[in-house]
Structure 1
Amino acid sequence: MLKIEGLHAYYGKSHVLHGVAFDVRPGEIVALLGRNGSGRSTTAKAIMGQVDWQGSVQWKGASLAGRKAYEIAHLGIGYVPENRDIFPRLTVHQNLLLGQKGSGAGSRWSFDDMYTMFPRLKERQHTEAGVLSGGEQQMLTLCRTLMGDPDLIIIDEPTEGLAPKIVELVGQYLERLKDRGLSVLLIEQKLTIAMEISDRVLLMGHGSVVFEGTPDALRADAAVRKEWLEV
């Protein structure tokens, strides 16, 4: 589905990614782990065409080289950035409406789906998004991306700053996506949620993938965790 080979990315003259390679298969949750500055968010931005890159990024067999972010989104890749990029003066419902691809006809997801998964959003559907709590804004951002009916959703740090109960809710949400046949690339610092819901984990360090395997394999490799994850 998504296949990345020899990916190098740059911020100006700064060389950030060094030959990143991995894939995400249909209906799979892949966690991209690592410390701050390891290159995880830059990898997501490269996939979405938001930073300069070299190498190969293929989506369903077609190259994404030279495509704009909105073009990539229309091809079926949804992106939930770390900064919860909502429209604060629009209501919850209006934010979701803006996420729809075209008329929304034929989409796997409806407003009812969003409100069923997150009843709190239904309660606040006529409230301006800017006054929502951090957890509610995260729910809204995830749901707005889903309204575009992606086949793969890239989620950057969805649990950052959230209360433990909301973190658990986000984990359940991501598993529901998998049940609906979506693929998920989860960029996360919280090891617990990533290890619980992921099929595979990728560990990044200094702009490269330094480990790839199952959650159980990472749990068993204390040396890798100590060098690349633990503070």
Structure 2
Amino acid sequence: MLHVQDLHAFYGKSHVLHGVHMDVKPGEIVSLLGRNGSGRSTTVKTIMGLVDGRGSVRWNDHELLGLKPFEIAHRGIGYVPENRDIFPKLTVQQNLLLGEKRKQGNPRWKLDDMYRMFPRLKERQHTAAGVLSGGEQQMLTLCRTLMGDPNLIMIDEPTEGLAPKIVELVAEYLKELKRRGISVLLVEQKLTIALEVSERCYVMGHGSIVFEGTPADLRGNAYIRKEWLEV
């Protein structure tokens, strides 16, 4: 489905990604782990066309490198950025409707689905998004991306700075995606959640993939955890 091979990226003269490789299969949750500055966010931004890359990013056998972000989104890839990027002066419902993809047939996700997953959004549907709490804004961003009916969703640090109860909601959200057959590439620092919901994990260090395996493999590899994950 998604196949990344020998991916390099630069910020000016700074070489950030060094030959990254990874795959995400249909209906699979894959976690991309690593310390801050390891290149995880740059990887998903490069896949999404927000950072210029060199190498290959293939999606259903079509090359994505060189396409604009909106073209990549229209091909069925959703992206939830770390900074959320909600529209603060629009209501919750208006934000959700902006994410809706107009196409023939019945979309997999509707407003009712969003409100069922996160009842708090229904309570706040007519409230300006800018006055929501951080957790509510994260819920809104996750749901707005789903309204685009993606086949793959890339989520950057969805639990960062959230209260434990909201973290549990995000974990349930990820499991719901899996139940509906949507592929997920999850950038996450909380190892517990990543290992709970993922089928496979990649660990990044200094812009390269230093480990690939199952959650069980990672739990059993004390060296990788100590060298590349633990603070």
Give the TM-score, by structure 1 length: 0.99
Q: Deviations 1:64-99 (Å, cap 9, x if unpaired)?
A: 021000000000000000001100000000000000
**Structure 2 counterpart of 1:78, one-letter code:** G
Q: Which runs of 5+ in 2 are unaligned?
A: none
CA contact (8 A) 2:9 2:53 kept: yes
Q: Is the 8 A contact 2:47 2:65 kept in 1?
A: no
* CA–CA separation in structure 2 for the residues paired with 1:183 and 1:76: 11
Give me the CA root mean square deviation: 0.8
| Equivalent residue letter for 1:51 | V
Q: 1:221 is matched with which residue?
A: 221
Describe the SS at the equivalent of 1:26: coil
Aligned to 1:42: 42
- 1:112-156 CA distances to partner (integer Å, 9 max, x unpaired)? 000001000000000000000000000000000000000000000
What runs of 5+ residues in structure 1 fail to find an aligned partner? none
Aligned partner of 2:137: which letter? Answer: Q
Specify the SS of the correspondent of 1:195.
Answer: helix
Runs ≥4 in structure 1, deviation > 6 angstroms?
Answer: none
Give the equivalent residue in structure 2 for 1:98. 98
Query: Secondary structure of the equivalent of 1:186?
Result: strand
Mapping 1:175-190, distance limit 5 Å: 175-190=175-190
Deviations 1:176-219 (A, max 9, x none): 00100100000000101001110001000000000000001100
Q: What SS does the corresponding residue of 1:136 show, helix, strand or coil?
A: helix
1:120 aligns with 2:120: yes
Q: Tell me how far apart the structure 2 counterparts of residues 103 and 213 of structure 1 sit (CA, whole Å).
A: 37
Looking at structure 2, the residues matched to 35 and 94 of structure 1 have their Cα atoms a distance apart, in angstroms, of 35
Q: Could you tell me the percent identity over the aligned residues?
A: 74
Letter in 1 for 2:203: L
Find the counterpart in structure 2 of residue 29 from structure 1.
29
* Pairwise CA distance, 1:105: 4.9
Aligned-residue offset at 1:104: 7.6
Cα drift, residue 163 of structure 1: 0.3
Structure 1 position 86 matched with structure 2 position 89:
no
